[in-house]
Structures are given as C-alpha cells and as structure tokens.
Amino acid sequence: MLAQLNHSRLVEQEMAANERAAIAQRELLEAIPIPLVVTAIPQHEVLHSNVPAQHWLEGRSIDPWLSGLSAPARARFFQQLADQGAANEFEVLWQGAESRNWALLSARRLLYQAQDAVLTTFTPINSLKAMEERLALWAKVFEASSESIMITDGERRIITVNRAFSRSTGYSFEEIAGQTPELLRSDRQPDAHFEEIWRVAVTRGSWQGELWLRRNTGESFPLWAVINAVRSDSDQITHFIVVAHDISERKANEQRISHLAQHDVLTDLPNRSLCVERLRLALQLAERQARRVGVLFIDLDRFKNINDSLGHHIGDSLLRSVSRSLLSAVRVGDTVSRFGGDEFVIILNGVADADEILQIVNQRLIPLIRQPHEIEGVELHISCSVGIAVYPEHGVDIETLMRNADAAMYQAKFSGRNNAQFFSIEMESRARERLDIENDLRHAVERGELRLFYQPRVACRSNRLLGAEALVRWQHPRLGLVPPGRFITVAEESGLIVPVGAWIIDEACRQQAEWRDRGLGDIPVSVNLSAVQLGDPSLLEQLATTLQARRTKPQMIELELTESLLMENVDSNIALFHALKELGIVLSIDDFGTGYSSLSYLNRFPIDKLKIDQSFVRDMLDDTNDLAITRAIIGLGHTLGLKVVAEGVEHIEEKQMLAAAGCDELQGYLFSRPLPEDEFARWIKANAALAGD
Ligand code: C2E
Ligand code: CA
Ligand code: CA
C-alpha cells in the first residue's frame, strides 16, 4: 500500500515534472523571437504558431501558403519539401493583407502530435532585399555609365573597371584587374605629372584635371579625370575611385575652333591675329640672334576689276591661287597671311640684310604672282605691289613695322604698281599727311570748304569761249588752298569721293545755271569723274536729279573720264556711257594718249571728245615724237568724228602748231589759269571783247 502510494506519488511527481517541462518547452517555443508555424499535411491547417508568427499569418488558420505565396512559389516550396524533406532559406515575397514582405522560409517535415506536419520559420529580409536592389542598381549604373570608372585598392591595385573604361582604354576587366594604373601611363606628359597626381589625391583626398593615358593599342588620348581617395574609419586609404571621360573630341573641336579663329577661311592662310603673333615671335628671335625681319605688305593690282567683271567665285579662286604662289615664293618657316580682300602680309624671318629680302621679292615673289593663274580653264594675269619694312631699320615694334610696310606698299602702288618699295622716312610723313587729309576731308563738304575753279576752253582759231573745266580746290582752314592732286586720291581711296563728287556735280550745275540766268551766256561746264564715281550705281540717277533741280540743260554738262578708267570695265562702261548719252550729257576722254586704249574699243564708246594729254603738248615743240603723236591723235579723233581738245597750252607757238594740226579746242595758262567764279565771270567779259572768229 505504502509502495503503491509511493509509486503513485512518484508518477504524480513525474507527471507534474513532465507537465512543467512541457510548459517550459512551450514557453521557450513561444519566447523564440523567430516566427514559427506548424502546418498539417496535406490540408495545411495551422496546428501551431507562435506569437511572432501572427504577423505573417494575419489570422489565417487554413493553408496560409495559398494567399501568402504566389502559385509558382508555393509549388516549388512544397516540391522541395517533398523531395528533400526540408527547404532552406527559400526566398519568397510574402503576400499579406496590406503589404508584401520579403522573407526567407526554412521548413522541416516532422511528426507533430502524431500527425504529418511541416515546421516553417520566417526570416524577414526586407532591408537586406532593399540593399541588394540598391547594389544591383549601383552595379548597373557603374556598368552603364558613359564615364570611365576604375576602382583600386589603397595600394592602387585595380579592383574593378566598368565597360566605358574598357571601351576607351581597350583593356577588358580581366586584363586589367590586379594591375596598377601605371599600365596606362602615356609619354605625352612627363612621368612626374603622374606621380604628382597621386600625391595630390593622397594628401588632399582628391585630384581632378586633364591627363593623357595610353590605350592598349599604344595610342595616347586626353581625358578629364577625377580621383577620390576613400578612407576607412581609422583614416586609412582603402580605395581610390577614378572617374574620367575621354576629351579627344572636345580637344579636336577646340583645335578646330582655334584654327578657324586664326586662319582665313578662303585661303586657310594665317589671318591678321596669327600673323601679328608670328611677327612678335620673329622679332623676339631676331633680337636675340641680331638678325633682320622683313615685313611685306602685298596688294594685288586692279584685283577689284577681276572681281567685279568676272564674278566673286573667280576672284576667290584667284586669291587662292595667289596664296599658293606666295607660299611657294617664301622659305619654310616664313609666314604668309591674308588680311582680307586682296591684301597679303608676309613675314620673312631671320634675314641677313635688305638684299636678301629684295632677292626673294624680285626673283621669286613678283615673278610667281605674274605667272598666269589658271582659273576654270582660263588664264588670268595679275601683278602686285609690295611694300617692305625691315626690322630693326624701319621700326622695332609690330605696329610701326606694319604701318611702314603699308606706307611703302602705298608708294609702290603710286609709282605705277607691279613693283616693290622699301619704306623710307619721307613715306612716313607722306602717310601721316594722307591720314590727316582723310580725317579733315570728312568734314570738308558740310563745312563748305570745297571750291570750284573754272578754266576756260576756247576755240582754236577764234579764241571764242567754248566752255569751262570745273577744277576742285579745298580751302583748308590750316593748309590754305589745297590743289586736287593732294586730296583726290585720298578721297577715292577712302570712298569720300562719292559725297565730294556729288557736291562737285551739284555745284557745277548750279554755277552753269547762274551764269545763264545772269546773262553771261550758256557756258558748257566740264566735270572730272573718278573711277569710284563711275562704279557708283546711283551716279546716273543722281545726275538726272541734279540737272533737274538746278535747271541745267544736260548738253551744258560734259563729263571728263580718263582713258585708263574707261578700259577697266569695258562692257559695263559702254552701257553706262550710252545711258549718260541718253540723258543728253557730253562725254570726253581726258589725258588721252597716256593709256593703252585699244582703238577698236574706243570706237564702241559713244564719246564726243578727246583731250590730248598735257605731256604731249608740253614737249611738242622740242620732241618730234610728241608732235607726231599730237598730230596722230587729232587725225584719229577726226576720223572717229570726235572733237579734239589740247590742254596745257602755255605758249603762243603751241597754239599755232595745234591750230595748224587742226585741233578744235584749246585750254591752258596761255588763255587763263583756273579761276574762282567771280574772276572767271570777269574773264568772260574781257575775253568776249577780244575774241573774234
Ligand atoms: P586734269 O583733269 O587733267 O586737269 C587739268 C589740270 O591741268 C588742272 O590741274 C589744271 O590746273 C592744269 N592746267 C591747266 N592748264 C595748264 C597749263 O597751261 N599748264 C599746266 N602746267 N597746267 C595746266 P589741277 O586743277 O591741279 O587738277 C589736277 C587734276 O586733279 C585734274 O587733272 C584732275 O584729274 C583732278 N581733278 C581736278 N578737279 C577735279 C574734280 O572736280 N573731280 C575729280 N574727280 N578730279 C579732279
Ligand atoms: Ca580734266
Ligand atoms: Ca587732263
């Protein structure tokens, strides 16, 4: 009995102990912070779940897998359990009522309360997943970046590079991993530069700038690179991150742009700014080596005619051809540049003396330019005028040399073109005077400083007044009465001849009408026209308007044009002459005999008069040639049905000779100098008394 009692107490105690153990186990199970779920097989009823699992079950008691997993995931999960009796770290996206969460499921098959069951734990991995996605994104960015990226360890051993890096260097990841960036070092820059870059990256934590690297093909290329040092918590450099992009194209563009900025588009020769730069260098060098530098200003003679008559594209081709000739005339290292238009400037470096320059210019440059240029199957001929200034004789600075070469070129033009002139001191003062005159001339018309003087033209036999030539003078406030020889060329070159010429025409018309109105008679007035005026498209209209405004009869106005001017643009001039004739204006050829007019051309111009050049008249008495020419011109004029005028008649013998030769009209000091209008009016009256048929 006692034993019996004892036994039942023991059993009771054991049961109590078991009960305690079961409770403890359950408590332990409940206390595990890992979500645990036991589900039955095959219906998947939830047999047990601990508190942390409630979050995942959300009250589902039968088959939580059905709504929690996607159908394929659920199928795979149970397949694994069936095959292996377990599933480890099975990654799922768990579908809750409100949200979806990433989890790793680990499951074991077991017998639970004598029932076939599955124990599943849930490990939430949302944050890991997010990190993983970020990493994947970074990897994509890294690979997809158009910038080359290279990551090295603290010892500069390459850990990884991206595709852009491989593309621009030609090295694949496999080839370059484990190497150092030394492999890419280019000899386009000193080695010290490379060292310096790393030194800065280490000491300052970063470096950026331009740098040349070498591709695996050996070719160097420029990049813009940024290097950052990455430090650990203990401040050790653990990595270097290098981000770079290829700037070869940008460099090439920059070069193209700077080439464009420094070269003339038409000829590809250096332009003014590059020429000045080259001259600066040439002067520095010449100073050190005690050598000379030649500065040549070259202007093509009568280029404008070619351009105007044959068209701009022919003109352009000719300029290109000339630039080639110039290049072949000079030595390697000399500079041939174009300043625009038909102006070229050459710098001859390090020459010994003026003779050497003259040799180059006279033996090579001028002859090469004069050789025919074949343009579109046609041979064009051109010459040039060259002005030369030599360092240090004619200036030691750029500006002076340029200005003096320009003045010398001007002089070369003046002395008949097709030649070269060295600069001289007289040229300098002449150039300065020319500049002063141009500046003052700008205001001469508006300030009423211009005057017309009139020189009578008389009938050869009777001395009867046939007309007057209007000759311009400039009443300059400081210089006094300036003759046209000193300012007409300046006016032509500066374009001022257009307003000046318009004033002259207007004034001549006004005067003609005034004499008539005052009862002095209808005196024809002749006006000299310059080439620039002839090329002015508004000339015709301006003449017509002025004639009308001043109430002057067109036949009372004569235009004097020089022979050479006529021959410059034959076809357009013939047309213009016909239009002028249609207005009723009288036309005469001035300074006849000095040009080279072709008689066949002359015939085509609707002209009325020839004016024999003064030089023939002046020398006629002493020089039988000039007498012969004078007679020939008179004969020729008459054959063509023209009146012939002789000017510069100073002596009575000349008058007699001309009368004998049959000349029609005379003009010269013998009759009168050019006179201001009031004196001219007096002369008319006095002469009327003398003249007789
Ligand atoms: P040009 O048209 O041949 O004018 C004749 C020049 O010879 C005038 O000089 C006149 O004063 C001068 N002369 C006249 N008779 C004699 C003489 O018997 N002996 C000498 N030694 N000379 C004589 P000027 O007035 O100094 O004019 C010079 C040139 O200036 C003109 O030559 C003409 O080409 C130009 N010119 C004058 N006035 C004008 C004008 O209004 N417009 C334009 N475009 N040019 C003008
Ligand atoms: Ca004249
Ligand atoms: Ca003349």
Q: What is the mean pLDDT of residues 102-125?
A: 94
Q: Which residue blocks in 550-651 are alpha helix, DSSP H?
A: 563-568, 570-583, 599-602, 614-619, 624-639
Closest protein CA for atom 22 of ligand 1: 648
pLDDT at residue number 691: 67
Among 67-81, 244-258, 456-470, 557-571, the minimum mean pLDDT is found in 557-571
- pLDDT(692) > 60: no
Mean pLDDT for the stretch of residues 188-211:
91
Q: Considering only CA atoms, which residue is closest to atom 34 of ligand 1? A: 528
Burial zone of 336 (CB within 10 Å; 0-12 exposed, 13-18 middle, 19+ buried): buried
Using the predicted structure, report yes or no on whether residue 352 has a pLDDT greater than 70: yes
Region 619-642 average pLDDT? 92
Please say if the pLDDT value at position 365 is more than 60: yes
Q: Ligand 1: which of 498, 647, 658, 671 to mutate, most ligand atoms within 8 Å of CB?
A: 647
Burial degree of 525 (CB within 10 A; 0-12, 13-18, 19+): buried
Work out the percent of the chain whose per-residue pLDDT is above 70: 99
Angstrom distance (rounded) from CA 111 to CA 239: 54
Q: What is the mean pLDDT of residues 664-686?
A: 96
Across residues 555-570, what is the average pLDDT?
85
In 3D space, the residue among 241, 268, 266 whose CA is nearest the CA of residue 256 turns out to be 268
Rounded to 10 degrees, the C-alpha dihedral 497/503/505/511 comes to -150
Q: Ligand 1, from 492, 528, 594: best to mutate by most atoms within 8 Å of Cβ?
A: 528
The model's pLDDT over 174-187, given as tens digits with 9 standing for 90+, comes to 999 999 999 999 98
Judged against a pLDDT cut of 60, whether residue 693 lies above it is answered with no
Please state which of the ranges 23-32, 563-572, 595-604 shows the lowest mean pLDDT.
Answer: 595-604
Q: How many helices (H) and strands (E) does the chain have?
A: 27, 26
**pLDDT single digits (tens) 374-430:** 999 889 999 999 999 999 999 999 999 999 999 999 889 888 788 899 998 888 888
d(CA 18, CA 22): 6
Residue 528 Cβ < 6 Å to ligand 1: yes
Q: What is the DSSP letter of 364?
A: I
Phi/psi at 604 (5° precision) = -85, -10
Ligand 1 atom at minimal distance to the Cα of residue 591: 3
| 149 contacts: CB under 8 Å, gap ≥ 6 | 142, 161, 162, 164, 165, 241, 242, 243
Q: What is the C-alpha end-to-end distance of the chain, expressed in Å?
A: 194
Amino acid at 520: L
Ligand 1 pocket check for 414: Cβ under 6 Å: no
In single-letter form, the type of residue at position 83 comes to D
Determine contact, residues 295/401, Cβ cutoff 8 Å.
Answer: yes
Ligand 1 proximity of 456 Cβ (cutoff 6 Å)? no
pLDDT digits (tens, 9 = 90+) for 288-316: 999 999 999 999 988 988 888 788 999 99
**pLDDT over 70 at 541, yes or no:** yes
- Whether the pLDDT of residue 594 is over 90: the answer is no
Say yes or no: CB of residue 213 within 6 Å of ligand 1: no
Average pLDDT, the chain: 92
- The residues, ordered by sequence, that sit 6+ positions from 329 with a Cβ below 8 Å of its Cβ are 360, 364, 365, 368, 369
Residue 682 has pLDDT above 90, yes or no: yes
pLDDT digits (tens, 9 = 90+) for 51-103: 999 999 999 999 999 999 999 999 999 999 999 999 999 999 999 988 999 99
Closest protein CA for atom 20 of ligand 1: 648
Which residue's alpha carbon is nearest to atom 33 within ligand 1?
A: 528
Stretch (H or E) spanning 546: helix 539-549
Q: Which residue is closest in CA terms to ligand 1's atom 13?
A: 648
